[in-house]
Amino acid sequence: MDLTAVQAVRIARSRADLTLGPGERYLAGGTWMFSDDQPGVTGLVDLSGLRWDELDVTTAGDLRIGAMTTIGGLERWATTAPYPAAPLFTQSAESLLASFKVRAAATVGGNIVRSYAASSMVALAATLDATATIWHADGTDSVVPVASLPTGNGTTSLAPTDVLRDVVVPGAALGALTASRRIALAQHGRSGALLTGRRDLEGACTFVITAATLIPTVLRYPSLPEAKRLEADVRGATGYYTDPLGSADWRRQVSAVLLAEVREELAQ
């Protein structure tokens, strides 16, 4: 879509360039920005000039993902990455309602910042306990769990002038076993429920519900939970909602069924 109200586009090349003027918004991959009308947006600050497309493992063994890394790039990295959790990266990329062409342009940071309930990059990060580095307009930084950023379906705790700099996945999570399930009412529809799980080497388990709840629901256990315990926790979770992609009751039911499958896979 042409954004006919936009009068100027400038490329950010340093932190100083990130100060927003009246009517300006940040531009990452642009796959969402150009998909709909953007009332009040008269200028774009293109983040591509910052070259935040790092994909590197730190000396501590953590994976650092630059916010401008494309989802397609992350997907390609995962195909050869020597980590037990690598398949979850590919599964999460494929869970998006997006073709390979869109994934080649859409960014990890952009998908997280949009924070739709069906954001598979949020699901990936929440499952692997990833943190986000946030740059604030006053020059300070903060590091927060990615799972804590969404406040609703398409809303976040970020201020309009905040910028997501990178996402860091701890090395311990990269060594965990993972599993994923997804369901949608339409064959090629947006996820109605996206269920993911992780089992650490020492046995601790994390299960995450996204798409079915307005914000990520993260369930943690010191060891593999009994099936009935997990089912009760899933059914008792809050935040299930109704929209054209599914009713709250349906989302609760399929989440219980599919997380049971995730548990069985992690138990093997």
Average pLDDT for residues 133-160, to the nearest whole number? 96
pLDDT digits (tens, 9 = 90+) for 15-31: 999 999 999 999 998 88
Token pair listed for 196: 């993911």
Q: What pairs with residue 218 in β-bridges?
A: 208
Q: Are 38 and 140 in contact (CB under 8 A)?
A: no
Conformational region of residue 239, where left means phi above 0, alpha means psi within -120 to 50, and beta covers everything else: left
Q: Confidence class of residue 1 from pLDDT cuts 50, 70 and 90?
A: low
Residue ranges and CATH numbers for the domains of the chain are 8-50 (no CATH), 55-172 (3.30.465.10), 174-267 (3.30.390.50)
d(CA 257, CA 184): 14
Please tell me the predicted confidence (pLDDT) of residue 250. 98
Q: Are 238 and 228 in contact (CB under 8 A)?
A: no
d(CA 43, CA 47): 13
DSSP one-letter code for 159: -
Which region among 34-38, 70-74, 146-150 has the lowest average model confidence (pLDDT)? Answer: 34-38
The dihedral sign for the CA sequence 231, 197, 141, 45: negative
d(CA 60, CA 138): 29
Half-sphere exposure of 92 (CA within 13 A, CB side): 31
Please tell me the predicted confidence (pLDDT) of residue 106. 92
Q: In what order do the strands lie in the sheet with 63-66?
A: 55-57, 63-66, 163-169, 131-135, 141-145
Does the pLDDT at position 35 exceed 80?
no
pTM above 0.85, yes or no: yes
